[in-house]
């Protein structure tokens, strides 16, 4: 059996270990994003093997701790979600469960995972159907169509992702389909624990005390949060924080409202969310994230007025999307809450960059009477400087964890998962065992990709 040609988990973490010729071809292939060699560019690292990141200027954050943001926009397709999409597909190929030419791939998503699925299927020659809500940012649909996937739209927005799962459940009844179910399947966990987690550990080398005091990330599928599991292995003191929209605080208190932060706050505790390692849950107001994006994208002068270096302000303009700003606000809140100092590092993630949010800022222009510089100046202070330590809850006790386990049961028993399986997730052994499979898949990928 030959499987499509792509990297192992370890090669995504350390692209320097990829065969030299292939690595050279991959770097050259960046100029043509639909060249399949770009599978070998699925990594957090740049040409020099350095993790793509920015340490935010303290003039922006207003806190002493170093806030380190890993940048997902440099992944092929423009977001790190391509990593879990690839990992889930290649594991399916290794297991013999997904067969080229025979299976159509389903990608339930609110956008970036769908973009990743469409992109990966284009490169690996599979037909793809992306199932997503019909009210997400316009740029997302354009990209998915550009990559050649079909769209199957369900009503609503980010918080209606459950409808995409129900639709996928229906489509899956066709034996010719295979679902890359990001909320349920553990390759998403493996990619982020191994590739993202270890890249975070690498990213703080030489910054502050070189350790990670806090890892904050807003879950959609909660794949990214799995990085926290690996970070805790290296730095047991790390506090892992799940951020939620204030308007849709499902994990904190069952809240299920509509909100504007695309990619997160999906009204559930996902199956692959290891709640054992979630220490705190903190809420971010959705319009703070949108207004914060407006300030960074259109307020270079305002940032400079507050002391941010001109080149850094210009560089930041296109680095973040709405959820990236939500993560940054969450990281600032946690630095205050945990009373962190200049030696301490808070790590967070920008899943994608600005390229898919023009329409979100256009919508903001329509909603507000004015967005002149004096308004942006006020938003700078309100969003970045004045955000306090409210709406942060400690989830380290057994009774708090129990609430999350119960939420998971409510969300997943109805999709046919057994109580015994969910109970097994109450132990760290389950997650470590799943993580250990990285080695098995890496061996198989290496073996099978060369066989003819
Ligand atoms: C823009 C954006 N931010 C954050 C996330 C959440 O990442 P994860 O699914 O790994 O929890 C997603 C997921 O699709 C996303 O698209």
pLDDT at 220 over 70: yes
Does the beta carbon of 112 sit less than 6 angstroms from any atom of ligand 1?
yes
- SS3 sequence, 330-386? HHHHHHHHCCCCCCCEEEEEECECHHHCHHHHHHHHHHCCCCCHHHHHHHHHHHHHC
Q: How many whole angstroms separate alpha carbon 451 and alpha carbon 148?
A: 29
Q: Give the nearest ligand 1 atom to 324 CA.
A: 3
Does the beta carbon of 113 sit less than 6 angstroms from any atom of ligand 1?
yes
What residues form DSSP beta bridges with 392?
282
- At 452, the pLDDT band (50, 70, 90 cuts) reads low
List own/partner pairs for 169-172 with CB under 8 A and 24 or more apart: 169/415, 171/106, 171/129, 171/131, 172/106
Which pLDDT score is estimated for 278?
A: 98
Nearest of 40, 1, 15, 10 to residue 440 by alpha carbon:
10
Which pLDDT score is estimated for 137?
A: 83
Q: How many whole angstroms separate alpha carbon 419 and alpha carbon 435?
A: 22
Question: Cβ contacts of residue 432 below 8 Å, gap of 6+?
Answer: none
Domain limits, the chain: 53-77+191-394
394, 280 Cβ separation under 8 angstroms: yes
What pTM was computed for the model?
0.97
pLDDT at 447 over 80: yes
Helix, strand, coil percent values for the chain (each to nearest 5): 50, 15, 35
pLDDT at 155 over 70: yes
**How confident is the prediction for the chain on average, in pLDDT?**
96
Give, using CA atoms, the residue closest to atom 12 of ligand 1.
263
Residue with tokens 């889930």: 88
The string of DSSP letters for 13-73 reads H-GGGS-HHHHHHHHHHTTSTTSGGGGGG-SSB-TTSPBPEEEPPHHHH-SSSEEEEEEGG
Q: How many whole angstroms separate alpha carbon 279 and alpha carbon 394?
A: 6
Give, using CA atoms, the residue closest to atom 2 of ligand 1.
263
Residue with tokens 């020099």: 48
Q: How many whole angstroms separate alpha carbon 65 and alpha carbon 56?
A: 10
Interval 346-365: pLDDT, tens: 999 999 999 999 999 999 99
Q: Which CATH class is domain 53-77+191-394?
A: alpha beta
- At 437, the pLDDT band (50, 70, 90 cuts) reads very high
- C-alpha of residue 386 to centroid of ligand 1, in Å: 26
The string of DSSP letters for 91-140 reads HHHHTT-S-TTT-EEEEE-SSHHHHHHHHHHHHHT-EEEEEEETTS-HHH
> Which residue among 87, 158, 224 has the greatest number of ligand 1 atoms within 8 angstroms of its CB, and so is best to mutate?
224
- C-alpha of residue 452 to centroid of ligand 1, in Å: 36
**Farthest-apart Cα atoms in the chain, separation:** 64
What residues form DSSP beta bridges with 54?
69
Nearest of 92, 74, 96, 162 to residue 128 by alpha carbon:
92
Give, using CA atoms, the residue closest to atom 16 of ligand 1.
263
- Cβ count near 429 (within 10 Å): 10
Interval 88-103: pLDDT, tens: 999 999 999 999 889 9
pLDDT at 159 over 80: no
Q: How many whole angstroms separate alpha carbon 290 and alpha carbon 283?
A: 15
Joined together, the tokens standing for residue 66 give 């170093």
Which pLDDT score is estimated for 38?
A: 98
364, 371 Cβ separation under 8 angstroms: yes
- C-alpha of residue 85 to centroid of ligand 1, in Å: 12
Residue 333's Cβ-side half-sphere holds a number of Cα atoms within 13 Å equal to: 28
Q: How many whole angstroms separate alpha carbon 256 and alpha carbon 321?
A: 22
Say how many residues make up the chain: 452
296, 354 Cβ separation under 8 angstroms: no
Q: Give the nearest ligand 1 atom to 222 CA.
A: 11
Using DSSP's 3-state secondary structure scheme, residue 407 falls into helix
The side-by-side arrangement of strands in the sheet containing 127-133 is 150-154, 127-133, 104-108, 177-179
Interval 363-407: pLDDT, tens: 999 999 999 999 999 999 999 999 999 999 999 999 999 999 999
Interval 330-345: pLDDT, tens: 999 999 999 999 999 9
């Amino acid at each position: 059996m030959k499987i499509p040609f792509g990297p192992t988990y370890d090669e995504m973490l350390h692209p320097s270990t990829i065969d030299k010729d292939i690595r050279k071809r991959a770097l050259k292939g960046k100029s043509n994003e639909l060249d399949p060699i770009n599978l070998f560019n699925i990594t957090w690292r740049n040409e020099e093997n350095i993790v793509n990141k920015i340490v935010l200027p303290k003039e922006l954050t207003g806190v002493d701790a170093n806030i380190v943001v890993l940048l997902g926009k440099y992944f092929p397709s423009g977001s790190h979600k391509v990593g879990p999409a690839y990992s889930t597909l290649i594991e399916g190929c290794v297991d013999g469960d997904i067969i080229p030419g025979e299976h159509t791939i389903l990608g339930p998503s609110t956008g970036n995972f769908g973009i990743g699925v469409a992109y990966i299927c284009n490169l690996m020659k599979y037909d793809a159907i992306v199932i997503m809500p019909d009210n997400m940012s316009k740029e997302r649909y354009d990209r998915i169509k550009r990559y050649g996937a079909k769209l199957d739209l369900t009503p609503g927005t980010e918080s209606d992702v459950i409808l995409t799962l129900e639709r996928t459940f229906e489509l899956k009844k066709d034996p010719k389909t295979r679902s890359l179910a990001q909320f349920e399947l553990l390759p998403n966990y493996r990619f982020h624990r191994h590739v993202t987690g270890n890249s975070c550990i690498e990213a703080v080398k030489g910054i502050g005390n070189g350790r990670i005091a806090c890892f904050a990330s807003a879950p959609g599928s909660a794949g990214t949060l799995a990085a926290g599991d690996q970070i805790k292995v290296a730095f047991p003191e790390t506090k892992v924080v799940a951020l939620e929209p204030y308007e849709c605080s499902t994990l904190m208190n069952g809240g299920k409202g509509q909100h504007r932060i695309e990619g997160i706050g999906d009204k559930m505790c996902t199956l692959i969310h290891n709640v054992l390692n979630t220490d705190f849950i903190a809420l971010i107001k959705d319009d703070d994230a949108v207004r914060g994006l407006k300030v960074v994208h259109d307020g270079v002068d305002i940032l400079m007025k507050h002391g941010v270096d001109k080149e850094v302000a210009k560089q930041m303009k296109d680095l973040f999307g709405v959820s990236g700003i939500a993560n940054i606000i969450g990281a600032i809140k946690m630095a205050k809450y945990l009373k962190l100092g200049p030696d301490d590092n808070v790590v967070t993630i920008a899943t994608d960059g600005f390229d898919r949010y023009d329409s979100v800022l256009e919508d903001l222009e329509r909603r507000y009477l004015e967005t002149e510089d004096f308004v942006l100046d006020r938003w700078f202070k309100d969003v970045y400087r004045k955000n306090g330590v409210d709406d942060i809850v400690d989830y380290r006790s057994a009774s708090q964890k129990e609430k999350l386990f119960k939420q998971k049961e409510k969300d997943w028993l109805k999709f046919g998962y057994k109580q015994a399986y969910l109970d097994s997730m109450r132990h760290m052994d389950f997650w470590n065992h799943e993580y250990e499979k990285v080695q098995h898949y890496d061996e198989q990928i290496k073996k099978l990709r060369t066989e003819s």
